[in-house]
A and B are shown apart, each in its own frame.
Chain A
């Protein structure tokens, strides 16, 4: 049991930040991101004994996180893609610092993308290698490169549009 806990601790330390970014990018909501991250690591713990090294452990953890984010839709009534209104921007300004304001806005812009685009772009931003992203998101590497190019363009466009406010 102690050995499992040590291993789990290492996995958590190595992956928690990226998984949190993925969940935050998917939901655009800090509290929901925490819930999803917690659920992801609970599933990692429950299935740790069954992990057979067929994949890199980070790929395995990512896959669980992606599926947890997908199943979030089953119970979540609210659409993650809330329009980025003036009201949200105004509130964000009051609540967070100037630097974090831009990051917060970036997360809100990511939440405007299609579901699988959100998942892919957060991994790109976290510099996950392309073969790993392809493996995690069940997309061929050639197709992935095209997708990434399109998503980068789309995200930049959305961000710049809202920065003008």
Chain B
């Protein structure tokens, strides 16, 4: 049988020391900083390429209908929206400012962040997909007038197939995500009660 003082002696005599030094931490800070910057850069460049491609098509193409102009404008807006959200989230995570709060406030921040991400991955993604769908449908109107019927049909089949695939993937992703988020929020709420 040991009392608390015996446990304290055991604790103070432990040889469990961290196996790292501050120079190693600094090395990793620089490495992770550049990894984050590279990821950001790659994503930004990919989205920028998308925006430029649509812009180029918009400027160079001679479209007959106003619906096509609207279609391209929607696609460009979707790309910019997605890029803005990603950039904001990365900046927020990399700054690490929230971690300086008191633990009870930090738990509230984590709960809020989880819900925001959940909304982004479900509700906002749904709206995002609907806009992409509208853009493709508007584009299909012009395609119907300028292309042979078989090309229009292939384009229509491809678009519908793509949507069904995305929808199915999103359903399974949403179910998994929901379970995970619910589990996390339950845990955080349980911890929050401990700090109240």
Contact = CB atoms under 8 A, between A and B. Distances in A.
Contacts of B104: 138
Given A24-B16, A34-B18, A34-B20, A73 B184 contact: yes
A159 interface: yes
A121 B128 CA distance: 48
Nearest to B104: A138
B150 interface: no
A125 B195 contact: no
**What secondary structure prevails in chain A residues at the interface with B?**
helix
Contacts of A17: 17-18
A138 B102 contact: yes
A57 interface: no
Given A46-B96, A103-B11, A160-B1, A138 B16 contact: no
Interface string A54-73: 00000010011011101101
A107 B11 CA distance: 9
A13 B22 contact: yes
B4 A155 contact: yes
A41 B101 CA distance: 16
A93 B110 CA distance: 38
A103 B9 CA distance: 10
Taking each of B11, B13, B195, which has the highest tally of chain A beta carbons within 10 Å of its own beta carbon? B11
A8 B23 CA distance: 10
B2 A70 contact: no
B29 A139 contact: no
Count class of interface residues, chain A:
35 or more
B85 to A, nearest CB: 19
A140 B146 CA distance: 74
**What secondary structure prevails in chain B residues at the interface with A?**
helix
A102 B10 contact: yes
B10 A43 contact: no
Nearest to B191: A115
Given A38-B28, A125-B8, A116 B17 contact: no
B110 A9 contact: no
Interface of A: 5, 8-9, 12-13, 16-17, 19-21, 24, 30, 33-34, 37-38, 41-43, 45-47, 50, 60, 63-64, 66-68, 70-71, 73-74, 99-100, 102-103, 106-107, 114-117, 125-126, 136-139, 152-153, 155-156, 159-160, 163
Given A8-B22, A21-B16, A115-B194, 11 more contacts: A20-B17, A34-B18, A38-B28, A41-B22, A42-B28, A42-B29, A45-B25, A46-B29, A107-B16, A125-B7, A156-B7
10 contacts: A16-B18, A42-B29, A47-B99, A67-B98, A70-B191, A73-B188, A106-B11, A125-B8, A153-B4, A156-B7
Interface of B: 1-4, 7-8, 10-22, 25-26, 28-29, 32, 94-107, 110, 114, 184, 187-188, 190-191, 194-195
